[in-house]
Structure 1
């Protein structure tokens, strides 16, 4: 059984930052216009700022678990993927040609 991560540690900061980035990506996947996305990002930031000073490790774990559950609930079925990244529309579209002999065979 792992012990809970203590508040205000580097590991905890990375964990919360990762959740924040996931929340922003989830909001980006769900919004069609930048104005709507910007409003959602402000709400997300306010929710994270509200829990910024939590000192109790058990309460912190509950908040992180609730955040992970909310992210799983709101996950978009067809998320946006940057075109050149794996799974994107342009990924490996122009595969480099293999530079072998021009005429195959043994002469």
Structure 2
């Protein structure tokens, strides 16, 4: 890797935790609903119990929906399971699932 490549931002997705420059989005249940609808096509989702949810606004990613969840009745505490969802420039809505993360739980605002 050259030094020029080392300075490129190769991040493909928002971080699991909201970035310090992300602002709380005004009530945006429509975007959260779009993200949750995408989860319905993911077979294991039926066993997941959603917890705190948060929609933020990012200069890089636009609207970002995050939700903590548990799988069935099993808790990984103090580790957190989190879903991250955002809209790409082409209109698609990617969904990232992160299991067993060492991050603080979301706080619903």
TM-score, normalized by length of structure 1? 0.30
Bigger relative contact order, structure 1 or 2 (CA pairs below 8 A, ≥6 apart) = 1
Query: Which of the pair is proportionally richer in helix?
Result: 1
Query: Which of the pair is proportionally richer in strand?
Result: 2
